[in-house]
Amino acid sequence: MTVQVVWFKRDLRVSDHWPLAEACRAGPVLPLYIIEPAYWQQPDSSVRQWAFIAESLRDLRRQLARLGLPLWVMEGDTLNILSQLHDQLGPFTLRSHQEYGGNWTYQRDRAVKRWCDAHDVTWQETAPFGVLRPCLDRDHWAEHWQDFMASSQATLPGHCEGALPAPPWPDLKTPRGMGRELCPGRQRGGSETGEAVWKSFLEQRARGYRGGISAPQKAEHSGSRISPYLAWGCLSLRQVVQQLWVAQQQAPAGPLANGLAAFESRLWWHCHFIQKLEDQVDMEHQSLHPALRNLRDDPGNPEWLRAWQQGQTGWPLVDAAMRYLHHHGWINFRMRAMLVSMACYPLWLHWQQPALHLARLFVDYEPGIHYPQIQMQAGVTGINALRMYNPTLQAQKLDPEGHFIRRWVPELRGVSSTWTHQPWNMGSRQQKESGVQIGEDYPSPLVDFDVAVRQARARLAEARHQAGFREQSRAVNQKHGSRRRRPRARNTDNDDQLSLF
């Protein structure tokens, strides 16, 4: 019988895995993961992402072993590996989930398709969640999402027939030429851990979701924290949504029900955003709105870029958020948005380098969410409300006592709550008493925020007044805009931003 090669990519689980379930029913199965050195040399990849995947692979091996299947992990160029398998097995059936990544994986998949056609290999691809390929009609997209999430989960037979024993794995510990991992607070990989994180949210932590996800120190516990498990496919989004629906029916009115209702819209956004990159893969490299493509020089001021990357901007909440992210590989939505806003408005950096820096820091890096979000926060889509976060007001609101700031910017440890949000306003006596000299031990803000923001506003207004801007915005909206508003969580967090238009 034809061997069924199941190619695992961003779907490191066995639960609700249609390619695996169908393979098990069709013939002897060879589960395969390929470590692609060229992928790990891309500027958006990082050792922390790899470490999460390596843990997920060990977990996947345990799960597959329970089904009687040995996981093959091979390292090399995908086409070479497929050719090796072809030499060994003859024509096989290749099964995988579709991958909605950036340009590198898109081009690799095109090459794989050509290889399959030339080698008499059938490649069966299945949608992993509610994204359409191709998406010809955004008008009915929301219905498609709903139908997908309500559709049947894949079920596996109790035992599957393995094709061949797996060869020894390459050393997963050795990062692929990427240096040492410096992310001690990272979430651990694997479906088993992901399911435990999800269960604790569904049953308990969702109580704090509404009103608890803007402040970074609260969001660490009140957010679901399932993002890396969705990004690398340790959890099935359909399973998450279906379990959420059941939990919503059972939850008594109150904080848990409210939290679950607010959370549901995020799972819809997940696919809504990924659909954008799937429909326009060049979003990774160029601004969506044609009139906003030359808005900023690339990269902008390199010293400001470096200071922003290292958490040395002189705005305490911005620096605390960046350093927290370095340590944990995760930070909440509000802080991600604020970091991009600070880079792209007062510092006027092009979004490209900040996007790559954040991508490398995020363990949950998902290109289809990342690039559309970056562009939205940088104000270059032409269809989204523009938001400029004021870092002092954000700090006063989200970290009133300054605990988060003092934890992550220890230079300010001795500074009282009165000054933690704007230490540059301390006089020399106060600086002495606090044990910090601004400009020496901790920087002054890189620019005068109010002046820089006024300049950003003027530049944006000028770009938006160009002839044809509105028509181009309409075209962008036609292709990418959301047609249906899902019930939204009551948003209590929209103040403290400078609205531009």
Ligand X SMILES: Cc1cc2nc3c(=O)[nH]c(=O)nc-3n(C[C@H](O)[C@H](O)[C@H](O)COP(=O)(O)OP(=O)(O)OC[C@H]3O[C@@H](n4cnc5c(N)ncnc54)[C@H](O)[C@@H]3O)c2cc1C
Q: Which is nearer to ligand X, 99 or 364 (CB)?
A: 364
Q: Which amino acid is at 257?
A: A
Rounded CA separation 380/368 (Å):
16
Q: Which is nearer to ligand X, 218 or 266 (CB)?
A: 266
In the list 56, 93, 105, 224, the residue contacting ligand X (rule: CB under 6 A) is: 224
- Distance in Å, CB of 365 to ligand X, minimum: 5
Q: Which amino acid is at 403?
A: H
Rounded CA separation 414/402 (Å):
11
- Distance in Å, CB of 338 to ligand X, minimum: 9
In the list 312, 332, 390, 497, the residue contacting ligand X (rule: CB under 6 A) is: 332
Q: Say if CB 344 and CB 351 are below 8 A apart.
A: yes
In the list 225, 357, 387, 480, the residue contacting ligand X (rule: CB under 6 A) is: 225
In the list 337, 393, 475, 500, the residue contacting ligand X (rule: CB under 6 A) is: 337
Work out whether 247 is an interface residue with ligand X (CB under 6 A).
Answer: no
Give 110's Cβ-side CA count (13 Å radius): 6
Composition of the chain by helix, strand, coil, percent to 5: 55, 5, 40
Work out whether 218 is an interface residue with ligand X (CB under 6 A).
Answer: no
Rounded CA separation 138/153 (Å):
25
Stretch in the footprint of ligand X (CB under 6 A) among 361-369, 401-409, 433-441, 443-451: 361-369
Handedness of CA 74, 79, 80, 84 (dihedral sign): positive
DSSP state of 169: P
- Distance in Å, CB of 323 to ligand X, minimum: 17
Which tokens hold the place of 257? Answer: 């029900």
Alpha-carbon dihedral 473, 479, 483, 489, rounded to 10 degrees: -80
H/E stretch holding 29: strand 29-35
In the list 97, 207, 328, 336, the residue contacting ligand X (rule: CB under 6 A) is: 336
Which tokens hold the place of 31? Answer: 């589960």
What does the radius of gyration of the chain's CA atoms come to, in whole angstroms?
24
Which tokens hold the place of 406? Answer: 């003092």
- Distance in Å, CB of 262 to ligand X, minimum: 9
**Which residue in the shown chain puts its C-beta closest to ligand X?**
223
Q: How many CB atoms lie within 10 A of CB 70?
A: 16
In the list 50, 273, 308, 449, the residue contacting ligand X (rule: CB under 6 A) is: 273
In the list 34, 112, 215, 226, the residue contacting ligand X (rule: CB under 6 A) is: 226
- Distance in Å, CB of 229 to ligand X, minimum: 8
Q: Which amino acid is at 28?
A: P
For 250, the 3-state DSSP assignment is helix
Work out whether 270 is an interface residue with ligand X (CB under 6 A).
Answer: yes
Stretch in the footprint of ligand X (CB under 6 A) among 98-106, 357-365, 419-427, 447-455: 357-365
In the list 51, 60, 251, 369, the residue contacting ligand X (rule: CB under 6 A) is: 369
Work out whether 213 is an interface residue with ligand X (CB under 6 A).
Answer: yes
Q: Tell whether omega for the bond before 134 is within 30 degrees of 0, i.e. cis.
A: yes
- Distance in Å, CB of 244 to ligand X, minimum: 10
- Distance in Å, CB of 252 to ligand X, minimum: 21
Work out whether 389 is an interface residue with ligand X (CB under 6 A).
Answer: no
Stretch in the footprint of ligand X (CB under 6 A) among 78-86, 279-287, 288-296, 329-337: 329-337
- Distance in Å, CB of 228 to ligand X, minimum: 8
Work out whether 343 is an interface residue with ligand X (CB under 6 A).
Answer: no
Our separate counts of H helices and E strands in the chain read: 22, 7
Report CA-CA distances (Å) from 104 to 76, 77, 100, 248, 386.
15, 13, 11, 39, 30
Rounded CA separation 220/224 (Å):
9
Interface pattern 120-159 for ligand X (x via CB under 6 A): ----------------------------------------
- Distance in Å, CB of 465 to ligand X, minimum: 27
Q: Tell whether omega for the bond before 299 is within 30 degrees of 0, i.e. cis.
A: yes
- Distance in Å, CB of 33 to ligand X, minimum: 21
**Sequence-ordered list of residues with C-beta below 8 angstroms from that of 79, at least 6 positions apart, any chain:** 111, 112, 115
Angle separating helix axes 333-344 and 391-398, nearest 10 degrees? 160
In the list 72, 100, 308, 365, the residue contacting ligand X (rule: CB under 6 A) is: 365
In the list 123, 169, 333, 424, the residue contacting ligand X (rule: CB under 6 A) is: 333
Work out whether 364 is an interface residue with ligand X (CB under 6 A).
Answer: yes
Residues that bind ligand X (CB under 6 A): 213, 223-227, 230-231, 263, 266-267, 269-270, 273, 332-333, 336-337, 340, 362, 364-366, 369-370, 373-374, 377
